[in-house]
Structure 1
Amino acid sequence: MNTNTKQLDRIHSGQGFIAALDQSGGSTPKALLQYGVKEDRYSNEDQMYELVHEMRTRIIKSPAFDAQYILGAILFENTMDRFIDGQYTADYLWEQKGIVPFLKIDKGLADQTDGVQLMKPITGLDELLKRAVERHIFGTKMRSVIKEANPAGIKQVVEQQFAVANQILDSGLIPIIEPEVDIYSADKEASEKLLKEELTAHLSNLGSDVKVMLKLSIPTEDNFYRDLINDSHVLRVVALSGGYSQSEANEKLARHHGLIASFSRGLSEGLSAGQTDKEFNALLSKSIHAIYEASIK
């Protein structure tokens, strides 16, 4: 079995969840601050990225960050191009940890129109995808946000996501399509119904052997995305924590059979640069076990 087939099988049928370690330029200062690294610790972008890579390296190298619980990890572009113990991050993840590497490819969100935020144009996408293949990345992730139950806006979000997904598929990578519904939206449940209709329609237009992944907000109605989870085109459906605390996200996730976590803030909650390795690893282990248990319900 070649590496890609092993990775495909792991993501499709493995027990566990996907760690999101993909805070990008705009969210990195906040991620560092939550980790206890204040802005006076760095004076330029290079120093900032060096510090956040140290944080991610500490997480990835922790004995708690174990393939028994974690199926894959989503990386930021800057992380993909850096090294852990002399190996590119993706190679270290797969070869040393047995964890499948993904790459965040979007360039952030456009301003809100029609109740949604589309992705900004992804400049240089072909070059980035080519580099991702060279770096042994398995798949990609891209995020849009739905703020209101606006049919026209939600249609635009899904159309854009699938248009870019086709470009990703052409490069030989598996796209994670992420149309996030804002958990604070006044009409979240109505947005989820519109979103599911659009996703179902677009999935039905894919070729019979085409596989994609979906990353969605935890829905209001229990098991609402069961049809998507069972769709033959869907490799896996993963859930974002979306601003919920880890315990709240876990509690909600556990009510949805077949939906697994792909948490960012929910995973790193409570971790701090000032913790000893023993403290850091113990807290990370506790978080990973809790997210894992919620994911396999």
Structure 2
Amino acid sequence: MQQQQLEKMKNGKGFIAALDQSGGSTPKALAAYGIKEDAYSNEDEMFDLVHEMRTRIITSPAFDSNYILGAILFEQTMDREIEGMYTGDYLAEKKGIVPFLKVDKGLAEESDGVQLMKPIPDLKALLKRANERHIFGTKMRSVIKDANPEGIKAVVDQQFEIGKQIIAAGLVPIIEPEVDINSPEKEKCEELLKAEILRHLNSLNESELVMLKLTIPTVPNTYKELIEHPNVVRVVALSGGYSRDEANAKLKENDGLIASFSRALSQDLNVNQTDEEFNQALQQAVKSIYEASI
């Protein structure tokens, strides 16, 4: 299965769905879906509602492996079931979609123009559980706001240091150093970031494979070298706050870069839609993101 999934991630046509909003961003995700904060009175109820939303997305006929290569899950989603199967197994076996897990614990305070990841104290146990749940890869996010060489180096160093632990556990890490789309030095950040990533990629041995999740660059095809690098399975793009139309338009300018959108995927979905309306809205989103990705 792992080899088949690797082949699909490397050469398949489509995009990765990001369904991994976690504790802090869950109320926002639910609100966008039409569920206000007064609809739940504690965290458990909130997570039940978000699992219902994700189940509705994943079980929809529009959530189709002809368009979607993989899906990134939040830890709670991995541990829960859809139609009696763990979510990762449901995705892989029923849908033919490759499951990933978000492993980071959120962002640290800003320093040197960047936000590193908070420590991940239970990483080893989490990766063991991910393997038991048949997860293919992981994702972890840091944020770059200024073109500060020390800050950007620290972000990439941290990503690859943890990335190597993930590779050692038999999973493929998605390394996500997001450049803030509102950074006044976005293009300069991207040049520095690319150089740092290349430095790390060139020091990997041939069996150490990673994926990259990057903000759509200001200058199209900035990341061509990364996309073509032998240690890179795939480079995917985040929507980063752009609307879907804007993100799709920018993505189309970049050869070989595919989408991994969350908000841009689910922005038109609503809890009050009939299944027909919901599936239609999701299908439109899926098809437009797919078109931009190929």
Counterpart position of 1:203: 201
Counterpart position of 1:147: 145
Q: Distance in 1 between matches of 2:6 and 2:260?
A: 17
Counterpart position of 2:252: 254
Q: Deviations over 1:169-192 (max 9, x none)?
A: 110000000000000000000000
Q: Distance in 1 between matches of 2:82 and 2:114?
A: 38
Counterpart position of 1:224: 222
> Gapped runs of 5+ residues in structure 2?
none
Q: Distance in 2 between matches of 1:132 and 1:208?
A: 24
Structure 1 residue 74 corresponds to structure 2 residue 72: yes
* Deviation, structure 1 residue 208: 1.6
Structure 1 residue 14 corresponds to structure 2 residue 12: yes
Query: TM (normalized to structure 2)?
Result: 1.00
Q: Distance in 2 between matches of 1:191 and 1:5?
A: 35
Please list every run of at least 4 consecutive aligned residues from structure 1 whose deviation after the TM superposition is greater than 4 angstroms.
Answer: none
Structure 2 counterpart of 1:209, one-letter code? S
Structure 1 counterpart of 2:175, one-letter code? I
Aligned length: 294
Q: Distance in 1 between matches of 2:3 and 2:198?
A: 26
Structure 2 counterpart of 1:204, one-letter code? N
The residue matched to 1:137 in structure 2 has which SS?
coil
Q: Distance in 2 between matches of 1:78 and 1:49?
A: 8
Structure 2 counterpart of 1:89, one-letter code? T
Structure 1 counterpart of 2:198, one-letter code? T
Identify the match of residue 85 of structure 2 among 84, 87, 101.
87
Q: Deviations over 1:76-134 (max 9, x none)?
A: 00000000000000000000000000000000000000000000001100000000000
Q: Distance in 2 between matches of 1:222 and 1:139?
A: 27
Structure 2 counterpart of 1:276, one-letter code? T
Counterpart position of 1:96: 94
Structure 1 residue 35 corresponds to structure 2 residue 6: no
Identity %: 67
Q: Distance in 2 between matches of 1:187 and 1:90?
A: 39
Identify the match of residue 125 of structure 2 among 121, 124, 127.
127
Structure 2 counterpart of 1:16, one-letter code? G
Q: Distance in 1 between matches of 2:252 and 2:265?
A: 16
Identify the match of residue 265 of structure 2 among 245, 258, 267.
267
Q: Deviations over 1:1-23 (max 9, x none)?
A: xx001100000000000000000
* Deviation, structure 1 residue 209: 2.0
Structure 2 counterpart of 1:96, one-letter code? K
Q: Distance in 1 between matches of 2:68 and 2:170?
A: 23
Q: Distance in 2 between matches of 1:174 and 1:189?
A: 28
Structure 2 counterpart of 1:99, one-letter code? I
The residue matched to 2:23 in structure 1 has which SS?
coil
Structure 2 counterpart of 1:286, one-letter code? Q
* Deviation, structure 1 residue 38: 0.5
The residue matched to 2:111 in structure 1 has which SS?
coil
Structure 1 counterpart of 2:75, one-letter code? E
> Gapped runs of 5+ residues in structure 1?
none
The residue matched to 2:24 in structure 1 has which SS?
coil
The residue matched to 2:284 in structure 1 has which SS?
helix
Identify the match of residue 287 of structure 2 among 289, 293, 296.
289
Structure 2 counterpart of 1:223, one-letter code? N
The residue matched to 1:239 in structure 2 has which SS?
strand
Structure 2 counterpart of 1:214, one-letter code? L
The residue matched to 2:174 in structure 1 has which SS?
strand
Query: TM (normalized to structure 1)?
Result: 0.99
Identify the match of residue 113 of structure 2 among 112, 115, 119.
115
Q: CA RMSD in A?
A: 0.4
* Deviation, structure 1 residue 33: 0.3
* Deviation, structure 1 residue 220: 0.4
The residue matched to 1:215 in structure 2 has which SS?
strand
Q: Distance in 1 between matches of 2:161 and 2:127?
A: 15
Q: Distance in 1 between matches of 2:121 and 2:53?
A: 28
Structure 1 counterpart of 2:120, one-letter code? I
The residue matched to 1:206 in structure 2 has which SS?
coil
Counterpart position of 2:173: 175
* Deviation, structure 1 residue 270: 1.2
